[in-house]
């Protein structure tokens, strides 16, 4: 099994990353933004509905934005959910502008190294456009990736379709998907791609048990991908 994985790693030329929980970590205030945004809008709109718990929020992170809202606020109609989302994003964006949030372990250095080593790099997220844009700006993500795509840009299809699109556009010979939730592992498996689970994100080790490999830091990627000669030259 390990020999098979090693051979596949040696052929990887394209890396497709998830965003939240994989490249950036915003959990310390994302839960606060969601609960506070919901609380404010419930008060303003006169809504009598329970505020989602942190456990419910965690279980929903990684889903497409529309699905996440429907899961957390099942009794509300779509326009009301979108109004709540807008308030949540306003709070979240303000916190980013204040300097909250951080790169994942190993970033940004590991991302810069991988790009220098010649890997084709893409970012694919299930988020909406506004959420994606605020993080791309705060963390200057376009300096790492040749292609970035969020789910709203394609009407919230299954993540595997987004991954297939970027792999084709980048001319991938063999791609690996790096992410922190089972959605990422599942998407990679649909097209037979290698999946690398990030243990420092939102997902648990059990959730990521179907991944080809597990890592604790993005620093582990370059050695795994068998670019030894380039690494020695650094």
Same domain for 75 and 155, yes or no, is: no
| Domain boundary residue, one of 39, 64, 97 | 97
Same domain for 78 and 122, yes or no, is: no
Report how many domains make up the chain.
2
Same domain for 63 and 160, yes or no, is: no
- Say whether 175 sits in a helix, a strand or coil: strand
Same domain for 216 and 108, yes or no, is: yes
Same domain for 91 and 110, yes or no, is: no
Exposed, middle or buried, 109 (CB in 10 Å: 0-12/13-18/19+)?
A: exposed
pLDDT for 1: 53
Q: Quick check: 171 and 154 in contact, CB under 8 A?
A: no
Tell me the per-residue pLDDT of 176-198, one tens digit each, with 9 for 90 and over.
999 999 999 999 999 999 999 99
**Cβ neighbours of residue 147 closer than 8 Å, sequence gap 6 or more:** 121, 122, 123, 166, 169, 170
CATH number of the domain where residue 215 is located: 3.40.50.1000
Same domain for 212 and 122, yes or no, is: yes
The domain in which residue 224 lies consists of: 2-25+103-233
Same domain for 65 and 175, yes or no, is: no
Return the C-alpha torsion angle 19, 23, 29, 33, nearest 10. -10
Tell me the per-residue pLDDT of 83-97, one tens digit each, with 9 for 90 and over.
999 999 999 999 999
Does the structure show a pLDDT above 60 at 120?
yes
Q: Is the pTM of this model over 0.95?
A: no
Q: Which of 12-21, 52-61, 102-111 has the lowest mean pLDDT?
A: 52-61
Tell me the per-residue pLDDT of 5-29, one tens digit each, with 9 for 90 and over.
667 788 899 999 999 999 999 988 9
Same domain for 80 and 122, yes or no, is: no
What is the DSSP secondary structure assignment for residue 176, as one 8-state letter?
E
């Amino acid at each position: 099994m390990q020999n098979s994985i090693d051979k596949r790693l040696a052929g990887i030329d394209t890396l497709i990353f998830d965003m939240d929980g994989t490249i950036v970590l915003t959990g310390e205030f994302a839960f606060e933004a969601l609960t506070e945004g919901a609380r404010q809008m419930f008060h303003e709109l006169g809504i009598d509905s329970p505020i989602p718990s942190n456990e419910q929020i965690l279980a929903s992170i990684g889903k497409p934005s529309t699905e996440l809202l429907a899961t957390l606020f099942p009794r509300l109609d779509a326009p009301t959910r979108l109004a709540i989302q807008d308030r949540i994003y306003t709070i979240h964006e303000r916190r980013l502008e204040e300097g909250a949030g951080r790169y994942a372990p190993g970033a940004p250095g590991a991302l810069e190294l991988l790009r220098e080593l010649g890997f084709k790099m893409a970012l694919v997220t299930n988020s909406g456009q506004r959420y994606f844009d605020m993080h791309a700006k705060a963390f200057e993500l376009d300096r790492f990736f040749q292609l970035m795509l969020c789910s709203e840009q394609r009407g919230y299809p299954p993540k595997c379709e987004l991954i297939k699109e970027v792999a084709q556009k980048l001319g991938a010979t063999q791609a690996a998907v790096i992410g922190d939730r089972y959605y990422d592992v599942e998407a990679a498996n649909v097209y037979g791609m290698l999946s690398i689970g990030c243990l420092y994100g939102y997902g648990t080790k059990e959730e990521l048990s179907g991944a080809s490999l597990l890592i604790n830091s993005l620093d582990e990627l370059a050695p795994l991908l068998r670019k030894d000669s380039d690494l020695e030259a650094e």
